[in-house]
Amino acid sequence: MLRFLFCWMALALLPWGALAQEADPYAWDRPSPGEQRDAEAMIIPWGQGSIFAPAMTNPEYEPLYSVYAGDSLLAVQTMGRSILARPGRYKVCLGSGAMDQRIEQTVEVHRGHATMVTPAWGGLVVSILDETRNSVKESYEIFRMSDAKSFGVGTSYEEEMGEHPITWILPPGLYKIVGLGESFNTYVNFATVDLRPGGLTRFTIVQNTVTGDFVGAGVVELGGAVRKIEDWQAYTAFHGSFIMNRSQQTTEDDPQTDLTFSSQMEARLRYERERHSVLSRTLIDEGFSKQEGLDFRTVLDRVSLKNVYVFDVIPHIGLYGRFIVESRLFRAHHYFEEGDTTSYVKIDEDGQLIKRSRGESVELSPNFFPLSLQEGVGVNLILLRSLRASLYVLSGYGFRQTYTFDVFKEIKDDTTYAVPVFQEVPSTTLRGFESWIMGELRISRNLLINAELDMLFPSRGQGDPVYELEAIFSLRLTKEISLHYTMRWRDANSPYVQRESIMQLRYTYLLF
């Protein structure tokens, strides 16, 4: 019986395996031309017809097409949308490049009919990655091999910043892609791609970000039904580093410097489909120090999960929704001077005595606390996006909840007790206007600055504004080794460390 079931399952799976093998690597992201035209459901007025040029990808990132009646321009339209026209003969011009490089077709419009522009062109989407599969923002130039003519300069996109790839619409044929500044005759830093009529080619270039050299290129993604699964893209890496951490654990007047080893687990999951994009990013930062005569101490402990959804309304403007979780894994302690047993007291948020004790340390928080949640909806604006810099602003209405079960902080100005005082931190719930600003500046190929400012202005009577500002300076030394300097500032009411500076010499190992 088991043998029969096994054979039956094997036979049932054969057609699916055949379909996977026969998946078209040049399939479109969009439905077929006929399905696109039917989905538009345009009502053609009496006595007129229409012209329809189908889109291979998101129409907003493909060049526009034009329709001419003789030498007169009739209309300019987005790919995937129709143009109304009276019966007659028209010229359709579309594609990337200069005006004399555009593709021309002559179409005949009949009364009451939708005339389809035959998709005889080739589509091209270029992605540039580094050797750890991170998207890289670099420029390139495209030449046609038959006549060495340039069709223009393009810039790759960065998925982590919510950017979308542009789609080149080109005449079918063989093309040469070179790094910016290289000539058509170069024998280094180039790749060739053959564009088929009616096919969409997703071309990937792998670049050594230290030297800028191309180290690989080709079509690495499948199309058709398999691509629907690959709309989800995953990246997971492990970073190990040596840290010099200078921060205050309780107040700004008590800085500490530790030499420690740390590790970071980073996972990104991204969904990209037409106007919809979802980015989920998980970071687990853990650092431990061991000083002579002391036990292991946790000096860096942060777990964050950021989920952002963006719906593009028009280019550079969209709607967003986000959900963020931040916590820590281990218990937090405040350590008194080495070897000292000190008396201390714990009081609640109203100042009432909870506990009086002695010890070499005092527990500030249990596992998984404080726990912070953030939710928000609003408008996403792309104010600047270029090869060297980018600036994104998300503004809307937000909510924040901070749960501080058994969380304490040291109170320096309490004169009620003659010993150190640790007061319970109350849980809070806030709502109001929020703004999330993200910027990036690429100084050189190997030096990158990222900054992120997250603010909430609570509604009247709920308290003072809260914020977190983070700036990261990244210097790539080799393919796997980089130098990172992180600075974080938080408002005075934050249950987390309010000021910290972290220097990391980081080694990266790509898991998948």
Give the residue with greater pLDDT, 487 vs 476: 487
Task: Check whether 6 has a pLDDT greater than 60.
Answer: no
Report pLDDT digits (tens) over 123-147: 999 988 877 676 777 888 999 999 9
Cα 27 to Cα 22: distance, rounded to the nearest angstrom: 11
Q: Which tokens go with 377?
A: 């909806």
Task: Check whether 181 has a pLDDT greater than 50.
Answer: yes
- pLDDT band of residue 59 (cuts 50, 70, 90) is confident
Give the DSSP letter of residue 6. Answer: H
Angle at 329 between CA 376 and CA 288, to 5 degrees: 125
The alpha-helical segments, DSSP class H, found in 249-363 are none
Task: Check whether 339 has a pLDDT greater than 70.
Answer: no
Q: Which tokens go with 293?
A: 């005569």
Indicate the residue type of 66.
S
The mean pLDDT of 355-363, rounded to a whole number, is: 89
Q: Where are the chain's structural domains?
A: 33-116, 122-228, 231-510
Report pLDDT digits (tens) over 253-266: 555 665 667 788 88
Question: Starting at the edge strand that comes first in sequence, how are the strands of the sheet with 190-195 ordered?
Answer: 150-155, 139-144, 173-179, 190-195
Same fold, 33-116 and 122-228: yes
Task: Check whether 388 has a pLDDT greater than 80.
Answer: no
Cα 20 to Cα 225: distance, rounded to the nearest angstrom: 8
- pLDDT band of residue 279 (cuts 50, 70, 90) is confident
Environment class of 91 (CB within 10 Å of its CB; exposed 0-12, middle 13-18, buried 19+): middle
The mean pLDDT of 191-211, rounded to a whole number, is: 88
CA-closest candidate to residue 504, choices 335, 292, 258, 302: 258
Indicate the residue type of 370.
P
CA-closest candidate to residue 401, choices 425, 371, 423, 438: 371
Q: Which tokens go with 19?
A: 């379909």
Cα 135 to Cα 125: distance, rounded to the nearest angstrom: 14
Q: Does domain 33-116 have CATH number 3.40.1390?
A: no
Indicate the residue type of 196.
R
CA-closest candidate to residue 479, choices 128, 238, 132: 132
Cα 168 to Cα 182: distance, rounded to the nearest angstrom: 20
Q: Which tokens go with 30?
A: 């969009």
Cα 375 to Cα 324: distance, rounded to the nearest angstrom: 7
CATH fold group of domain 231-510: Outer membrane phospholipase (ompla); Chain C (2.40.230)
Which helix H or strand E contains 11, and what residues bound it?
A: helix 2-21
Indicate the residue type of 461.
G
The mean pLDDT of 340-347, rounded to a whole number, is: 87
Ramachandran bin of 413, using left for φ above 0, alpha for ψ from -120 to 50, beta for the remaining angles: alpha
Give the DSSP letter of residue 425. Answer: P
The mean pLDDT of 338-345, rounded to a whole number, is: 79
* Strand 122-129 to 200-207 pairing: parallel
Give the residue with greater pLDDT, 274 vs 420: 420
Report pLDDT digits (tens) over 79-109: 999 999 999 999 999 999 888 899 999 999 9
- DSSP, collapsed to helix, strand or coil, labels residue 9 as helix
Cα distances (angstroms) measured from residue 173 to each of 65, 145, 197, 371, 429: 20, 8, 8, 57, 60
- pLDDT band of residue 410 (cuts 50, 70, 90) is confident
Is the peptide bond prior to 370 cis by the omega test (within 30 degrees of 0)?
Answer: yes
Cα 452 to Cα 441: distance, rounded to the nearest angstrom: 12
Architecture of the domain defined by 122-228: Sandwich (2.60)
- pLDDT band of residue 431 (cuts 50, 70, 90) is very high
The string over 147-181, giving b where at least 16 C-beta atoms fall within 10 Å of a residue's C-beta and e elsewhere, is eeeebeebbbbbbebbbbbbbbbbbeeebbbbbee
Cα 284 to Cα 303: distance, rounded to the nearest angstrom: 5
